[in-house]
Chain A
Amino acid sequence: MKIVGHEPVINLTFVSRRPIFLRALPIDRGWFSYKERNKSMKKIFNIRLLAVLLAMSMVAAACGGDDGSSETTAAGSTETTEAGTTDTTAAPVDDVTLSVLIHSQEPMTSFVQTFSRNFEESHPGVTVDVSVVSADDLATVTQTRLSANDIDVIDMFGFANPVQPYMGGATPPAWQTLIDAGLLLDITDEPWVANYDEPSIEQAGSFDGRVYSVNLGRTVYGGMFVNNDLLAEVGVDIPTTWSELVSVCEAVKAAGNECMTTGGADGWPVFVGAYGLLGSLYPDQAGLVEGLYTGTVKWDDESTLELWSRYQTYAQDMLESGVTGLGHDAATFRYAAGDVAFLPTGAWQAPNLEGEADFDWTYVPFPGSDNAADNQYLFGKYDQGWSIAANSPNVELAKEYVGAFSDPANYQAFVDETGFIPTQPTATLETTLGQAINPLLENYRVGYEQFWLDPAGAGQWANGGQGASWFQPFNEWDDPVALAMQAQADLQAALDALS
């Protein structure tokens, strides 16, 4: 039967291509009859209603039921679930979950998880939910979870770079915004704060005279790992000046080995590997940043041009080819293979190297200057620290957790495991790395990265501390003078806009 006044909407040709669940709908020689159409519409409506209800229930299931462990990594979840289950059985009424956020960096991650398990055992009814995120995501997750009151203890990474008076309109760093917003707890009067040395509290935990974080360790990034066995095999000594480094690299390569490797695929290891070079030419790193802001130092000064030239040598001649595809951790394992003389990177890779390398190695400052006295400094930064969420419902338990972690015995265990340079005066670093750098620690200095902030309006080449990673093959530049001038122009334009 044909409906007068209606155009056919579905014909048999189309029906044959319809999804199988629609083929069950009634069709009268290719046309819907009116009654059948109504029936069909009802069926379709019912199917869609069911689909909508199903989708809504899935959304509800996905959004609801967050017991605090849903955002953790696999390792963290398992840990929490197991411990939580035990505690629930033991004391369901007193159950409290303490949420801890850390960034992923072995062996630190494993240590925190083990410590948390022990904390649970000594605090019946307490479950410690350790969330592990990548270092890149830590700031974002910290901000969102603090804003949502969904976290108690935070691994505060990068508590540095406060806006200096000479920086004009520079945007404050993320941690400063968190303090301004009242999201971090003032821990000045906590007794365990005194376990840490004064410089670390002052330089990596305080703002406006109040303490908001205890720092768990210094780390060094201005040096390089040295394969002693390889150098001995080639018949050269550890270089102490730039010229010696150039010669040693030539000798190592002539012997069929590689001079240096790095995690070029991640970008940052390339310029972090050259921070020692920057430091040996400008040992006063805070002064360098102030000078760049105030105009007493320029990226294209005649004296600074040497820096750019050495950046180029480092990027193009010293680093082995193909590192653009190598990640940071992979570079350490590559180095552990034994045919690369130097690994210019942070000392935080020492624990990985201890487990992998079967050759004799040490860690020395990067010899970036031709004056050996300028190459004696170990530049670095304060690594992670603990902060407590001001709005945490478990503030007292959070203090107890950080307090327990700060206990000298626990802290020593942490240092032993992670190889961090201690920030507690009673702790010592007795690893291979410790033996290498303990004699140099009196020359430890906070590095450039912890002072620099981009002024608003700065171009992408303004932060010359990253200059080593802008040369080919990592980026487009091949002329150090042109790049130096571009870096200064990018900085100057922003400084001019400020004034």
Chain B
Amino acid sequence: MAVEVVKKNYLFGGGWKSWTPVFLLLPGFGLYLLIAFGPSLATAGYSLTDATGVRGAPVNWIGFDNYDEFLFRGLASRDNIAALNRTLIFSFLVTTVQFSLGLGLALLLNQRLKGRTFFRTLFFLPVILGVVIQGLMWKLFLLPNGGPVSEVFGLFGIQSEFLGGQPSEAFLWVIVVQIWANVGITMVIFLAGMQTIDEDLYEAARIDGAGGWNLFRNITWPQLTPAINTNFLLNIIGSLQAWQLFLVLIGYKNGTQVLGYEIFAQGFGQTGGVSAAFRQGFAAAASIVLFVLVLVLGLSANWFVNRREKKYLG
């Protein structure tokens, strides 16, 4: 009887009051429609036009011409596909290294070490800095003449032009900065996950003679499943959409653009020329391509993590 009462009156009560959660959700849903879904739909529409974003300028319906240009026309399509590949490489490297490094740091800083709070703060600190600050800091670190990294490299006889040099090298340094800037949040999510693991499990396993690797493999790793899944998805989607560091660290330079930067540059006349046009219709088409990429990879990753969750947590 008591159970019945509790169930019926839980939080909002029965009858029309049970609709309260729906009403409470409506403003949020409305906001979502207004600032997320609406613009997304408009982007899809824009991608079929030659819109410039200039108020009063004519907007013409050009069908799939932007997609045709982006994917097939001239050798610009080669560069666009290269930007797409670069985005995937960037995402793969950032996800794997950031994930592994974040896990390693979390394991280390979950121990009873002296000064661990200091180190946790230290590794998390870059996360709270803005992209511009992060970029400017690393531009100074990576000065080829007299920068601290250059000095350290010099001790080993290594010379580098860093961000101003060859595209592949500049690209790698952006990956390094991206990981540095975000590994803190990965670490914190793992730390939070580790702290929910029941200490009794470790104690019981140790009594049974389990060592460090076995404890990690059989307790920590499976029990971390929600944190692993969260980090995996966040890292993939975040790195696919990251481009601001490219803007701050390198600028629009041949051989370094990722798709997100290409979208910004095309849409806002930042492709290098003094009179570069605003091609927001074209940029919208590129955005849709990026959206499809994120969707496919995001759904695949989601399927993978769901399967993993079922395997470990039932």
A interface residues with partner B (beta carbon < 8 Å) = 3-6, 14, 17, 34, 38, 41, 136, 139-140, 143, 146-148, 157-158, 160-161, 171-175, 177-178, 180-183, 264-268, 322-326, 381, 449-450, 452-463, 466, 470, 472-476, 489-490, 493-494, 496-497
Contact A456 B75 (CB under 8 A): no
Closest-CB distance, A354 to chain B (whole angstroms): 26
Bound together, the chains give a CA A454 to CA B275 distance in angstroms of 11
Contact A5 B6 (CB under 8 A): yes
The 8 Å CB contact of B2, one of A4, A41, A466, is: A4
List A contacts of B270 (CB < 8 A): 136, 140
CA distance A323 to B165 in the complex (A): 10
A475 touches B57 (CB 8 A): no
Per-residue contact bits, chain B 257-276, to A (CB 8 Å; 1 contact, 0 not): 00000000000111111111
Beta-carbon contact of A177 and B79 below 8 Å: no
Partner of A470, one of B74, B76, B254, B273: B254
Question: How many angstroms from the CA of A158 to the CA of B76 in the assembled complex?
Answer: 24
The residue on A at minimum CB distance from B58 is A180
Asked if residues A267 and B251 are in contact (CB atoms below 8 Å), the reply is yes
Measured CB to CB, the nearest residue on chain A to B145 is A322
11 further contact pairs, Cβ within 8 A, besides A267-B251, A472-B166 = A4-B2, A5-B2, A34-B6, A41-B11, A140-B270, A147-B55, A173-B273, A460-B75, A473-B166, A475-B253, A497-B73
Of A3, A4, A459, A460, which is in contact with the most chain B CB atoms at under 10 Å from its CB? A460
- Chain B's nearest CB lies how many Å from the CB of A51? 14
B143 touches A17 (CB 8 A): no
Query: In the complex, what residue of chain A is closest to B1 when comparing beta carbons?
Result: A4
From A146, A160, A472, B275 is in contact (CB under 8 Å) with A160
Report the separation of the CA atoms of residues A306 and B22 in the bound assembly, to the nearest whole angstrom. 73
A25 to chain B, nearest CB (A): 16
Q: Which of A6, A182, A264, A381 contacts B164 (CB 8 A)?
A: A264
Residues 216 to 255 of chain B near chain A (Cβ within 8 Å): 251-255
Known contacts A161-B275, A325-B143: does B3 contact A494 (CB below 8 Å)?
no
Cβ-defined contact, B74 with A458, below 8 A: yes
The answer to whether A157 touches B274, judged by C-beta atoms less than 8 angstroms apart, is yes
Nearest chain A CB to B172's CB is how many angstroms away? 14
- Cβ-defined contact, B75 with A181, below 8 A: no
Supply 21 A–B pairs (Cβ within 8 Å), ascending by A. A5-B2, A14-B196, A34-B6, A143-B53, A143-B278, A146-B54, A146-B55, A147-B55, A158-B274, A173-B277, A181-B55, A322-B145, A324-B144, A325-B145, A325-B163, A456-B73, A457-B77, A470-B254, A472-B165, A474-B164, A497-B74
CB <8 Å contact, B76 and A172? no
In the complex, chain A residues whose CB is within 8 Å of the CB of B11: 38, 41
Q: Does B7 contact A (CB under 8 A)?
A: yes
Interface string of B47-78 (1 = CB under 8 A from A): 00000111111100000000001000111111
Bound CA–CA A250/B54 (angstroms): 52
Q: A3 is contacted by which of B6, B162, B273 (Cβ under 8 Å)?
A: B6
Q: Find B147's partner among A139, A264, A325, A452 (CB 8 Å cutoff).
A: A325
Please tell me which one of the listed residues B52, B54, B166, B276 contacts residue A475 in the complex, with CB atoms under 8 A apart: B166
Contact of A324 among B75, B165, B268 (CB under 8 A): B165
Q: What distance in Å separates the Cβ of B140 from its nearest Cβ neighbour in chain A?
A: 9
Chain B nearest Cβ from A140, distance in angstroms = 5
Q: Is the CB of A324 within 8 A of B275?
A: no
Taking a contact as CB atoms under 8 Å apart, the answer to whether A460 and B162 are in contact is no
- Residue on B nearest A139 in the bound complex, by CB: B269
Interface centre among A322, A458, A494 (most CB of B within 10 A): A322
Residue in B78, B165, B279 whose CB lies within 8 Å of A474: B165
Q: What residues on B are CB-neighbors of A264 within 8 Å? A: 164
Residues in B whose Cβ lies below 8 Å from that of A455: 74
Contact assessment for A457 and B276 in the assembled complex, using a CB-CB cutoff below 8 Å: no
A175-B54 CB under 8 A given contacts A264-B164, A457-B73, A493-B74: no
Known: A161-B273, A174-B278. A181 touches B3 (CB 8 A): no
The answer to whether B274 touches A177 (Cβ under 8 A) is no
Per the bound structure, the CA–CA distance linking A463 and B277 in Å amounts to 16
Given the complex of chains A and B, what is the CA–CA distance between A298 and B144 in angstroms? 36
Known: A325-B145, A325-B147, A493-B74. A473 touches B254 (CB 8 A): no
A181-B55, A476-B168 known; A457-B76 Cβ under 8 A: yes
Q: How far is the CB of B246 from chain A (nearest CB, A)?
A: 13
In angstroms, Cα B5 to Cα A6, docked, is: 12
User: How far in angstroms is the closest Cβ of chain A from B63?
Assistant: 15
* Given A457-B76, A459-B74, A461-B254, residue A324 in contact with residue B269 (CB < 8 A): no
B190 to chain A, nearest CB (A): 15
Given the contacts A34-B6, A181-B54, A181-B57, A266 and B75 also touching, CB distance less than 8 Å: no
Given A139-B276, A475-B166, A475-B167, does the pair A322, B74 have CB atoms closer than 8 Å? no
Most A CB contacts (10 A, CB to CB) among B55, B165, B252, B275 go to: B275
Residue in B162, B272, B274 whose CB lies within 8 Å of A325? B162
Choose among A180, A183, A265, A459 the residue that contacts B78 (Cβ–Cβ < 8 A).
Answer: A459
The 5 closest A-B pairs by CB, nearest first: A457-B74, A324-B164, A459-B75, A173-B275, A181-B56
- Establish whether residues A174 and B56, one from each chain, have CB atoms under 8 Å apart when the complex forms: no
B195 lies within 8 A of chain A by Cβ: yes
Interface presence of B161 (CB below 8 A): yes
Q: How far is it, in angstroms, between the C-alpha of A270 and the C-alpha of B165 when the chains are bound?
A: 13
A208 vs B255: C-alpha distance when bound (angstroms): 38
A3 surroundings in chain B (CB, below 8 A): 6
* A183, B162: Cβ atoms closer than 8 Å: no
Partner of B255 from A14, A175, A460, A494 at Cβ < 8 Å: A460
Tell me, rounded to whole Å, the shortest Cβ–Cβ distance linking B192 to chain A.
9
A325 CA to B146 CA, complexed, in Å: 10
Which residues does chain A contribute within 8 Å of B52, judged by CB atoms? 177
Kindly state the separation between the CA atoms of A453 and B147 in the bound complex, as whole angstroms. Answer: 37
The minimal Cβ–Cβ distance linking A443 to chain B, given in whole angstroms, is: 23
For window 265-299 of B, CB contacts with A under 8 Å fall at 268-279
Residues of A within 8 A of B53 (CB): 143, 147
Please measure, in the bound complex, the distance between the C-alpha atom of A5 and the C-alpha atom of B276, giving whole angstroms. 66
Question: Which chain A positions have C-beta within 8 A of B251?
Answer: 266-267
Is B166 a contact partner of A182 (Cβ separation < 8 A)?
Answer: no
Q: In the assembly, what is the distance between CA of A267 and CA of B268, in Å?
A: 19
- A300: shortest Cβ distance to chain B, in Å? 15
CB distance B69 to A456 under 8 Å?
A: yes
**Closest-CB distance, B170 to chain A (whole angstroms):** 9
A41-B11, A157-B274, A174-B277 given as contacts; is B75 within 8 A of A476 (CB)?
no
A29 and B75 alpha carbons, distance in the complex (Å): 70
Instruction: Return chain B residues, CB-CB under 8 Å to A381.
Output: 274
Closest residue of B by beta carbon distance from A14: B196
Q: How far is the CB of B290 from chain A (nearest CB, A)?
A: 19
Chain B positions 1 through 24: 1 when the CB is less than 8 Å from some CB of chain A, otherwise 0:
011001100010000000000000
Task: Give the residues in chain B near A324, CB-CB below 8 Å.
Answer: 144, 161-165
Please judge, given known A-B contacts A17-B195, A182-B56, A475-B166, whether A4 and B3 are in contact too, CB under 8 Å.
yes
